[in-house]
Amino acid sequence: MSSANRGYAGVPAWIYVVAALGGLLVLLPLGAMLARVNWGRFIPLITSESSLTALWLSLRTSAASTILCVVLGVPLALVLARGSFPGQRVLRSLVLLPLVLPPVVGGIALLYTFGRQGLLGRSLEFAGIQIAFSTTAVVLAQTFVALPFLVVSLEGALRTAGNRYEAVAATLGARPTTVLRRVTVPLVLPGLASGAVLSFARSLGEFGATLTFAGSLQGVTRTLPLEIYLQRETDADAAVALSLVLVLVAVIVVGLSRRPSRSTNLGAAP
Amino acid sequence: MSFRFSATVQSRGFEVSLALGPAETVAVLGANGAGKSTLLAVIAGLLRPDSGQADVDGKVLFDLGEAAAGGIWTAPHRRGTALLAQEPLLFPHLSALDNVAFGPRSAGLSRPASREAARHWLREVDAESLASRRPARLSGGQAQRIAIARSLAANPEILLLDEPMAALDVHAAPLLRRLLKRVLAGRRAIIVTHDVLDALMLADRIIVLDNGGIAEEGPTKEVLRKPRSPFAARLAGLNLLTGTLSGDGITSGDGLHLAGHLEDGGQAGDDGIAVFPPSAVSVFPTAAHGSPRNTLPVTITDLEPHGDQVRVRAGGLSADITPAASADLGLAPGMTVYFVIKATAVSIYPA
């Protein structure tokens, strides 16, 4: 890996210039924000009661929606990668829809499903369950937008791994559930982990669907991004300080997902 | 107590039926695309045939009628047909020991009991010292040995081997072949191979597949001594010519006449096969030399090294000559030469 004897890269010099522009577009705004941080008030601002409440709510709801993403996303990815049934391709496109949908639209869709006048909301209300504008709604909104991240990441890992190990396991007498638990999941664990981390990050940053479907009640539905948006109106320093906290959390999360995978040595059979 | 199998897979033009005794090892040979892997996949339950039946010791593996209606289809994990592929496919996240323990554990044994069974099978393949290694830290030959132990530990009713030596280097293959000979003794197994040595050492019987059907089958030595299909002849390193028997030899479809000694008393006019080794063929630039009865005009298609000889391929036949002779004659692909075959070296028998 020493730079002295690298192989031919085949990258024209001007590509580096354009790439640098692209890098700047991401890094410059972060730097500008960093320059605006009021360091004297930083600690008091991020430890204020409303900030801590929002941060705690964000972490709790994001953890819950990540778990929900894993529970629902693993079977979905398996069915999309390994199953064969009519409408499979259509289902794949539809499941990925939240990736490209404006979150506000997702929030409206959720509202007309689980809201008081919604498709399921009416029946749920009879059962005494009210979802909209509750912490549950926050988790649902975050799961809605984050699920595709897990499904895409895991489906890719499943396709790369192929199903030859599973075939061998089956001929050795393992039931399908045993094969899933002892072969498939361990083989795609790196893909599953990075998918879960991405889902967590997306949940943490979720704003539009949450605001539309869950509102902004302090301690109940006002997550950190909503708190930042609210503070921006009244106290720019607070908004900047909290934004920095989110950037830090995001950097940690991305760092975790980019960690080199363990020596499981997928695909590269000796 | 036996294994009976017949199946058709229309999309691959596959139609095969075969049977195995309780402790019989059969080698399945054939060109690429002949249906060897399809055969193993159907037996293992990884590919569903269009129709057919199979049972092993009274247990039905599948029974699918001609009609599309239901039928019986036993899931792969209930068949007892362990599959050993070209690559070892050891589970990369498990140690060698836990790989071998996978089958017993799946059969319901406790973790300690399954590991105990795994140790036994690792000893069987002389790999006990590798027990704690991860597959990434095993050589190709070691990994395939562990994979064999893993297949045996599952206690299969039929062991299916899909070219188990093909991915190994030349040093690892002989060791593994000896190991397989030891562990396959007294077991029912089907081994798909390209290598005549595998068939000779490991199998009681040979089945030659061609175009999705059985072209030839019989006891290994019999098939190699008297091949009836071009593939088996090539395998045995023999030239093969099919045609019609005549009084003193055989006449091929395109009019070539070959004299030789008739075995097994065929009648003139019957279909027949002539077999002779490439070493019995001499190459001449003109037709004037040698026995006038067995001179075949041919066009050279290929020259290739064969041991310390040069193998001359022409018109579907081969001749082995010395490099010096090849140079003297100035042989090259495209040249027309005459293959001269000693009549005493040609065995002819009814097809």
Task: Assign domain A55-257 to its CATH superfamily.
Answer: MetI-like (1.10.3720.10)
Which residues of chain A neighbour B108 with C-beta distances below 8 Å? Answer: none
Residues 6+ away with beta carbon under 8 Å from A159: A81
Contact (CB<8Å) B91/A174: no
Instruction: Please report the pLDDT score of residue B257 as a whole number.
Output: 83
A175 lies within 8 A of chain B by CB: yes
User: A172 and B82 in contact by Cβ < 8 A?
Assistant: yes
Whether the pLDDT of residue B103 is over 60: the answer is yes
**pLDDT at B22 (0 to 100):** 87
Chain centroid, CA B55 distance in Å: 23
> What percentage of residues in chain B have a pLDDT greater than 90?
50
Per-residue pLDDT reduced to its tens digit, B264-293: 667 778 888 888 889 889 898 887 655 556
User: Which residue ranges form the domains of chain B, and what is each CATH number?
Assistant: 3-230 (3.40.50.300), 238-350 (2.40.50.100)
The number of residues in chain A equals 270
| Sheet of B317-321, strands arranged across | B281-284, B336-341, B295-306, B309-314, B317-321
Neighbours of B302 (CB within 10 A): 10
pLDDT at A263 over 80: no
Residues of A in contact with B92 (CB under 8 A): 187, 264-266
CA distances B177 to A193, A197, B20, B199, Å, are 42, 47, 21, 10
Q: What kind and span of H or E run contains B274?
A: strand B271-276
CA angle B26, B29, B34 (to 5 degrees): 125
Average pLDDT value for residue range B52-79: 86
Partner residues linked to B275 by β-bridges:
B240, B347
Over 60: is that where the pLDDT of A2 sits?
no
End-to-end CA distance of chain B: 32
Chain A interface, best mutation among B91, B121, B169, by max A CB count within 10 A: B91
Which of B89, B136, B139 is the closest to A168 by Cβ?
B89
* Tens of pLDDT, residues A22-49: 999 999 999 999 999 999 999 999 999 9
The letter for the amino acid at A106 is G
Q: B311-320: long-range contacts at Cβ-Cβ below 8 A with a sequence spacing of 24 or more?
A: B311/B278, B312/B283, B312/B337, B314/B339, B315/B339, B316/B230, B317/B239, B317/B241, B317/B278, B317/B281, B318/B239, B318/B278, B318/B281, B319/B278, B319/B281, B319/B282, B319/B283, B320/B278, B320/B279, B320/B281
Rg (CA), chain B: 24
Does A180 touch chain B if contact means CB atoms closer than 8 Å? no
User: Tell me, what's the pLDDT at A262?
Assistant: 47
Would the pLDDT of A1 be above 50? no
B160: its two tokens: 């299916």
Question: What is d(CA B234, CA B342) in angstroms, rounded to the nearest whole number?
Answer: 20
Q: Say what the pLDDT of residue B268 is.
A: 79
Strands B189-192, B25-29: parallel, antiparallel or unpaired by DSSP? parallel
How far is residue A141's CA from residue A62's CA, in Å, rounded to a whole number? 10
- Token duo for residue B118: 């795994």
Instruction: Give the range with max mean pLDDT: B84-88, B167-171, B248-252, B289-293.
Output: B84-88
Mean pLDDT value across residues B110-130: 94
Please state, in angstroms and rounded to a whole number, the distance separating the CA atoms of residues A219 and B4.
70
Given this model, what pLDDT does residue B296 score? 85
Residues 6+ apart with CB under 8 A from B207: B18, B26, B27, B28, B29, B214, B216, B217
Q: Is B103 on the interface with A (CB under 8 A)?
A: yes
Contact across the interface for B106 and A178, Cβ inside 8 Å = yes
pLDDT of A208 > 60? The answer is yes
Check CB contact of B151 with chain A, cutoff 8 Å. Answer: yes
User: 3-state DSSP call for residue B243?
Assistant: strand
Q: Is the pLDDT of residue B191 over 60?
A: yes
Strand-pair partners of B241: B274
CA distances from B267 to B21, B241, B262 (A): 35, 17, 10
Q: Report residue A106 CA to chain centroid gap.
A: 15
DSSP state of B95: -
Contact A167 B135 (CB under 8 A): no
Q: Does B77 touch chain A (CB under 8 A)?
A: yes
- Average pLDDT over every residue of B218-235: 86
Phi, psi of B302 (to 5 degrees): -150, 150
Q: How far is A206 from chain B (nearest CA, A)?
A: 35
- Mean pLDDT of the region B217-224: 89
Task: Quote the DSSP letter at residue B322.
Answer: -
CA trace torsion A49, A54, A57, A58 (10° rounding):
-150
Task: Using the predicted structure, report yes or no on whether residue A270 has a pLDDT greater than 60.
Answer: no
Q: Find the mean pLDDT for residues A119-143.
A: 90
Of the pLDDT bands very low, low, confident and very high (cuts 50, 70, 90), residue A200 is: very high
Rounded Cα distance between A194 and A151, Å, is: 11
